[in-house]
Amino acid sequence: MLSRGTNGQGMPVFLIRDREGQVRLLAVQGFKAHNEFLDQALLFGLPGAFLWLLLYLLALRQTWATPLGGGLLAYFGFLLFWYAVFYALGVLWVLLGLAATQKTPLRRIPTP
């Protein structure tokens, strides 16, 4: 990627070599992917998207049987079909922060 724009979040620009051997600039004119997980992969690469998804799934695991887990699951479903808009993105971080403070009960393995 050659350009990050003036604010660091510009449209990506790539150098492409065409069939005639000439190097051309290809600027992506899209704003965001219409899937938050795909958008994270485009912004941070596959390792960043994997870590983002891992964080989300760990938070969901902490709160699975609680109303907070239901909220995270609903938001997760929403993000599969749309992207997180900037004014609502704070909701995700609040939910993830609340999930991080939840204590999961230790499960004892029954002894025969």
Q: Per-residue pLDDT tens for 50-79?
A: 988 888 888 888 888 888 888 888 888 888
pLDDT value at residue 1: 44
Tens of pLDDT, residues 11-65:
667 778 888 888 888 776 666 677 888 888 877 888 988 988 888 888 888 888 8
Tell me the two tokens of residue 30.
Answer: 């899209």
- Select the more confidently predicted residue: 37 or 4: 37
User: End-to-end distance of the chain based on CA atoms, in angstroms?
Assistant: 60
